[in-house]
Amino acid sequence: MCIFVIMLKDIVNIDPEVLSGRPVFKGTRVPIKALFDYMESGKTLDAFFSDFPAVKHSQVVSLLNLAQQLLISSNDKAAA
């Protein structure tokens, strides 16, 4: 689980001085929640990047890959 925390710190910033401590994409003021809100509402990633140009494609891909790895790892542990 520790590797996930290290990887997350490369993607996400949580700082009480930035958006009251809400998780944001590192180097931006864009909340992580905005990405999931876009996905939940059926908007495309292209629309997200158009509306939030400060977020890099690599950041989104890394975040989604990390979420996938975390879920797979948790599922593997639960099945064992």
Q: What is the pLDDT of residue 80?
A: 56
Domain span at 59 = 2-79
Number of domains observed in the structure of the chain:
1
Q: What is the pLDDT of residue 32?
A: 97
Rounded mean pLDDT of 16-23?
A: 96
pLDDT band at 46 (very low <50, low <70, confident <90, very high): very high
CATH number, domain of 35, equals 1.10.10.10
**Read out DSSP for 3-23?**
HHHHHHHTTEE--TTSGGG--
Taking residue 33's Cβ as centre, other Cβ atoms within 10 Å add up to 13
pLDDT digits (tens, 9 = 90+) for 50-75: 999 999 999 999 999 988 988 887 66
- Cβ atoms of 35 and 41 within 8 Å: the answer is no
Q: Which amino acid is at 62?
A: S
Residue 1 has pLDDT above 60, yes or no: no
Q: What is the model's pTM?
A: 0.83
